[in-house]
Amino acid sequence: MAVNYREFAKRFETISAISMTPFFPDTKEIDWDGVKENINFLLDHGAQVIVPCGNTSEFYALTLAEAKEEIRRVVEWVDGRALVLAGIGYSAETAIELGKYAQEVGADAVMIHQPIQPYVTDRGAVSYFKKIIESLDIPSVLYFKDPHLSDQVLKELASLEKLVAVKYAINDLPRFAKVTRDIPADEYNLTWVCGTAEKWAPFYFHAGAKGFTSGLINVYPEKSFEMLLGLQQGDTEAVWRVWEETLEFENLRGKYNNGNNVVVVKEAMNQIGLTAGVTREPVDPLDEGDKQAVTQLLQKWGLLKVQV
């Protein structure tokens, strides 16, 4: 059955929900029941794209065996109710190994992380991404984050039919606006996705994005969808209202050069009764001040049943 990549690309015109990996506080082993609960929470709230092994899933804190198991189990638990976009990365060979595993267990597409190598050239990055994309049967989404790479890299990869979306995460809006003009989504069968969540989504959408990634969706999915709907319907007032309501949370995640990115989401989930456990190294639990900031925000949002 031939895949219609143009149609497939459109499935990313929504929120890409980065799923969490709860770890037990004592052993730091993966709490698989917690992962499942988190996936069901996302599905119950209407998530259409679930991303295991994203950055906020603490992909790089997992062993390769654990990353594979996370992909396999998430595919099984989602069971066709949403699209599963599996994060893959590391060396080209390792990324291909993870990608082949993902397609074997039924993931719908892979998200290729930014190369972790400290030394990367533009032409080398093209080779890296192209090798991975062409080695897999399922479609790929690029995670484009390193501001030192030229957008020429994307230009060279855009014509690959199996590249269906780019998750752009360089918050240089004029640069992003230019690249969406140089590589028009409809000519290339790909969807531009804002890779830096609710805080940046309004700006990216203004410049051509049709989807955004979210970690907040694990805590307060109603707000994430309110923003998506506002963006899709051009309801500027709603967009800015949600933007303002969620900004403090996103800024708290941005503290310590984004060191707080995951642990703030986990803390919030735990406080409202979901199961997120702790983070693994190199991220420690929040300090008391930041914990209280999370509590105050959850109170303001009305998500805490009991006042702490």
Of 268-287, which residues contact its own copies (CB under 8 A)?
Answer: 279-284
Q: Minimal distance in Å, beta carbon 196 to its own copies?
A: 12
Stretch that binds its own copies, among 55-63, 133-141, 226-234, 235-243 (CB under 8 A): 55-63
Gap between the Cα atoms of 66 and 21, Å rounded? 10
Q: Quick one: which of 45, 178, 259, 272 contacts its own copies (CB under 8 A)?
A: 259
Give first-to-last CA distance, the chain, whole Å.
55
Q: What dihedral angle (degrees, nearest 10) is formed by the CA atoms of 83, 101, 23, 32?
A: 70
Q: Minimal distance in Å, beta carbon 202 to its own copies?
A: 23
Cβ closest to its own copies, residue 85 vs residue 126: 126
Q: Name the β-bridge partners of 213.
A: 16
Q: Minimal distance in Å, beta carbon 280 to its own copies?
A: 7
**Residue 208: both structure tokens together:** 């051509």
Q: Minimal distance in Å, beta carbon 11 to its own copies?
A: 26
Cβ closest to its own copies, residue 172 vs residue 284: 284
If one asks whether residue 44 binds its own copies (CB under 8 A), the answer comes out as no
Q: Minimal distance in Å, beta carbon 253 to its own copies?
A: 9
Of 3-22, which residues contact its own copies (CB under 8 A)?
Answer: none
Cβ closest to its own copies, residue 30 vs residue 78: 30
Q: Minimal distance in Å, beta carbon 241 to its own copies?
A: 28
Measuring CA to CA, how many Å separate 52 from each of 15, 67, 100, 276, 306?
Answer: 14, 8, 15, 14, 31
Nearest Cα residue to 200 out of 153, 243, 245, 242? 243
288's CB contacts (< 8 A; 6+ apart) are: none
Q: Find how far residue 91's CA is from the centre of its chain.
A: 20
Task: Write each residue from 136 to 175 as x if it is in contact with its own copies (CB under 8 A), else as -, in one continuous string.
Answer: ------------x---------------------------
Cβ closest to its own copies, residue 127 vs residue 251: 127
If one asks whether residue 263 binds its own copies (CB under 8 A), the answer comes out as yes
Q: Minimal distance in Å, beta carbon 148 to its own copies?
A: 4
Question: Hey, what long-range contacts does 285-292 have (CB within 8 A, 24 or more apart)?
Answer: 286/260, 290/252, 290/255, 290/260, 290/264, 291/267
Q: Quick one: which of 121, 135, 232, 275 contacts its own copies (CB under 8 A)?
A: 121
Q: Quick one: which of 81, 105, 122, 274 contacts its own copies (CB under 8 A)?
A: 122
Gap between the Cα atoms of 150 and 123, Å rounded? 10
Stretch that binds its own copies, among 114-122, 171-179, 224-232, 268-276 (CB under 8 A): 114-122
Q: Which residue has the tokens 């049967």?
A: 137
Cβ closest to its own copies, residue 82 vs residue 160: 160
Gap between the Cα atoms of 99 and 92, Å rounded? 10
Q: Minimal distance in Å, beta carbon 112 to its own copies?
A: 11
Of 80-109, which residues contact its own copies (CB under 8 A)?
Answer: 90-94, 97
Task: List residues binding its own copies (CB under 8 A).
Answer: 55, 58, 60-64, 90-94, 97, 115-128, 131, 148, 256-263, 279-284
